[in-house]
């Protein structure tokens, strides 16, 4: 379904690219690393076929059909980025009569107010999403909108649904107020949770086929669990990223050639940054820096740096093979200088530019590779989510870190409490 083309990487001199032999050699370690990943006891690859979870979500979706004009997700980080990616990638698949889906992933007071002003509360459903149930930004948003809903004399049980773990403040609220809730499994971290209730509930409520999403993910999950290097694309991708990083190319640009994946690139950024940016077993600070980008647009923005700046990047192109619509560029007869665009569609031009950009980078010994999707659909998107999650799990083992925690952000949370308490 998704193919990974490493030819441009193999074509480079060994200081900058990856030798095919070196890549195969590393591939032999697959069984070892797969075992290490399994030893982490993470759930992201086990949650794709829980029929009861899916049915609960679908039942809830059916039960509220037509009741709301607006869905608002209150959540941040892993509770928001996957949902935004889903919504923006699958616009073509959202049913036209679906409620509008907004995601409030910041506490910017103007943004909070702007969303509040855009809503008719009696027709609004809030999804409060926090795995810990204790995220201050999300809890603050919940307090704010709850007060507004109560002030209008509405029953909060009709307007708040919680997606949260089994402990924490929000779970207590669910019990105290008898709110509808969906679970987040204990062993699935935020940035790996898009295919749990966290992403599936909002997706289902705007009419996206969540079974198709999961079926695409399962296809790659089966690769991910295979000990055969030739078919395990998540492992292949991780090996390529790791070997290039060993050669000093630690900035990994994610550059889809489709507007549909603009927001997806931000989901990828969290996944790569938060999974790999760690202190490893030898007390070394390691990690890969994600750089979200978009083609062809950024050929007119970032490409100059990729071509002539320091050779410290890997460009991961994402190409799409077919489009739901693709108009010809109507070049007027009397314009000789634009002959090369005649009988060319926008999609063909875009694909030619992607290949040209990749090849121009290769000529300058700049490592790049291409992931190809047959099209953008719930299936391929589910597959792409899982492919990148799986690759990150392996990358964590290569880097000798725990890809599933984030100990570095605690200090900022403690200082925030201190500064606010001091003011009082």
Give the nearest distance from C-beta 359 to its own copies in angstroms.
Answer: 6
Number of residues assigned to the chain: 424
- DSSP letter assigned to residue 382: H
300 in catalytic set = yes
CA dihedral 243, 244, 247, 249 (to 10 degrees): -150
Beta strands in 51-90 (DSSP E): 70-74
| Residue pair 220/234 in contact by the 8 Å Cβ criterion | yes
The stretch among 36-44, 59-67, 197-205, 254-262 that binds its own copies (CB under 8 A) is 254-262
The footprint of its own copies on residues 117-136 (CB under 8 A) is 135-136
- DSSP letter assigned to residue 328: B
Select from 7, 9, 22 the least CA-distant residue to 367: 9
| Residue pair 152/170 in contact by the 8 Å Cβ criterion | no
Cβ atoms < 10 Å from Cβ of 382? 29
Reading across the β-sheet that carries 368-373, which strands appear in turn?
3-5, 368-373, 313-320, 251-256, 289-292
Give the nearest distance from C-beta 67 to its own copies in angstroms.
Answer: 26
Residue (63 or 412) nearer to its own copies, CB: 412
Q: With binding defined as CB under 8 A, does residue 178 bind its own copies?
A: no
> Which of residues 14, 39, 147, 283 is near its own copies by CB under 8 A?
147
Give the nearest distance from C-beta 229 to its own copies in angstroms.
Answer: 28
Q: With binding defined as CB under 8 A, does residue 282 bind its own copies?
A: no
Residue (39 or 325) nearer to its own copies, CB: 325
The footprint of its own copies on residues 341-360 (CB under 8 A) is 341, 343-350, 352-353, 355-357, 359-360
28 in catalytic set = no
131 in catalytic set = no
Query: What is the rounded distance in angstroms from the CA atom of residue 137 to the CA atom of residue 129?
Result: 11
> Which of residues 13, 66, 96, 109 is near its own copies by CB under 8 A?
109
- DSSP letter assigned to residue 99: P
Give the nearest distance from C-beta 120 to its own copies in angstroms.
Answer: 18
Residue (120 or 420) nearer to its own copies, CB: 420
Query: What is the rounded distance in angstroms from the CA atom of residue 140 to the CA atom of residue 148?
Result: 13
Catalytic residue among 300, 339, 423, 424: 300
Give 363: exposed, middle or buried? Use CB within 10 Å, 0-12, 13-18, 19+.
Answer: exposed
> Which of residues 15, 21, 62, 327 is near its own copies by CB under 8 A?
327
Which backbone phi and psi does 341 adopt, to 5 degrees?
A: -95, -5
Count interface residues toward its own copies (CB under 8 A).
117
Query: What is the rounded distance in angstroms from the CA atom of residue 104 to the CA atom of residue 123?
Result: 17
> Which of residues 9, 76, 188, 200 is near its own copies by CB under 8 A?
76
Residue (33 or 257) nearer to its own copies, CB: 257
Q: With binding defined as CB under 8 A, does residue 332 bind its own copies?
A: yes
Residue (214 or 303) nearer to its own copies, CB: 303
Query: What is the rounded distance in angstroms from the CA atom of residue 45 to the CA atom of residue 221?
Result: 6
Q: How far is CA 124 from CA 4, 118, 242, in A?
A: 42, 10, 45
> Which of residues 198, 286, 383, 384 is near its own copies by CB under 8 A?
286
Name residue, tokens 């697959």: 30
Query: 322 in helix, strand or coil?
Result: coil
Q: With binding defined as CB under 8 A, does residue 64 bind its own copies?
A: no
Q: With binding defined as CB under 8 A, does residue 303 bind its own copies?
A: yes
Q: With binding defined as CB under 8 A, does residue 92 bind its own copies?
A: yes
The stretch among 37-45, 229-237, 320-328, 382-390 that binds its own copies (CB under 8 A) is 320-328
Give the nearest distance from C-beta 172 to its own copies in angstroms.
Answer: 9
First to last CA, the chain: 57
Catalytic residue among 274, 379, 389, 397: 274
Catalytic residue among 25, 65, 413, 418: 413
The footprint of its own copies on residues 368-407 (CB under 8 A) is 376, 406-407
**Which of 162-174 are b and which e, b meaning 16 or more Cβ less than 10 Å from the residue's Cβ?**
bbbbeebbbbebb
Q: With binding defined as CB under 8 A, does residue 420 bind its own copies?
A: yes
Q: With binding defined as CB under 8 A, does residue 281 bind its own copies?
A: no
> Which of residues 266, 370, 377, 380 is near its own copies by CB under 8 A?
266
> Which of residues 14, 63, 283, 285 is near its own copies by CB under 8 A?
285
> Which of residues 274, 379, 389, 397 is near its own copies by CB under 8 A?
274
Select from 384, 397, 393, 389 the least CA-distant residue to 4: 384
Q: Catalytic residues, which ones?
A: 274, 300, 413
């Amino acid at each position: 379904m998704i193919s990974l083309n490493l030819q441009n990487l193999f074509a480079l001199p060994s200081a900058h690219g990856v030798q095919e032999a070196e890549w195969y050699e590393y591939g032999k370690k697959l069984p070892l690393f797969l075992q290490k990943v399994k030893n982490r006891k993470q759930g992201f690859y086990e949650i794709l076929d829980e029929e009861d979870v899916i049915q609960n979500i679908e039942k809830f979706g059916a039960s509220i059909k037509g009741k709301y004009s607006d869905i608002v997700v209150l959540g941040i980080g892993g509770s928001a980025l996957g949902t935004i990616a889903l919504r923006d990638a699958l616009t073509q698949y959202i049913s036209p009569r679906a409620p509008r889906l907004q995601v409030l992933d910041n506490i910017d007071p103007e943004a909070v107010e702007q969303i509040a002003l855009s809503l008719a509360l009696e027709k609004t459903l809030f999804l409060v999403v926090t795995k810990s149930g204790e995220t201050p930004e999300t809890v603050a948003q919940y307090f704010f909108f709850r007060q507004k809903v109560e002030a209008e004399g509405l029953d909060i049980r009709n307007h708040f649904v919680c997606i949260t773990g089994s402990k924490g403040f929000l779970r207590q609220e669910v019990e105290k107020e008898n709110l509808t809730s969906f679970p987040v499994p204990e062993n699935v971290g935020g940035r790996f949770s898009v295919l749990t209730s966290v992403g599936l509930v909002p997706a289902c409520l705007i009419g996206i086929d969540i079974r198709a999403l999961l079926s695409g993910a399962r296809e790659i999950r089966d690769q991910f669990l295979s000990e055969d290097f030739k078919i395990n694309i998540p492992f292949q991708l991780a090996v390529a990223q790791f070997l290039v990083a060993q050669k000093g190319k630690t900035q990994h640009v994610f550059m889809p050639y489709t507007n549909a994946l603009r927001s997806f690139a931000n989901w990828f950024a969290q996944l790569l940054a938060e999974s790999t940016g760690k202190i490893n077993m030898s007390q070394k600070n390691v990690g890969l820096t994600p750089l979200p980008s978009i083609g062809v647009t950024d050929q007119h923005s970032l490409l100059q740096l990729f071509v002539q700046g320091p050779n410290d990047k890997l460009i991961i192109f994402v190409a799409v093979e077919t489009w739901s619509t693709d108009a010809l560029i109507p070049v007027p007869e009397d314009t000789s200088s634009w002959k090369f665009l005649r009988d060319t569609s926008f999609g063909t031009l875009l694909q030619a530019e992607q290949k040209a950009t990749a090849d121009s980078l290769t000529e300058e010994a700049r490592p790049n590779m291409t992931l190809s999707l047959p099209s953008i659909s719930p299936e391929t998107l589910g597959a792409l989510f899982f492919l990148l999650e799986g690759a990150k799990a392996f990358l964590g083992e290569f880097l000798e870190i725990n890809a599933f925690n984030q100990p570095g952000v605690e200090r900022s949370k403690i200082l925030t409490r201190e500064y606010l308490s001091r003011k009082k």
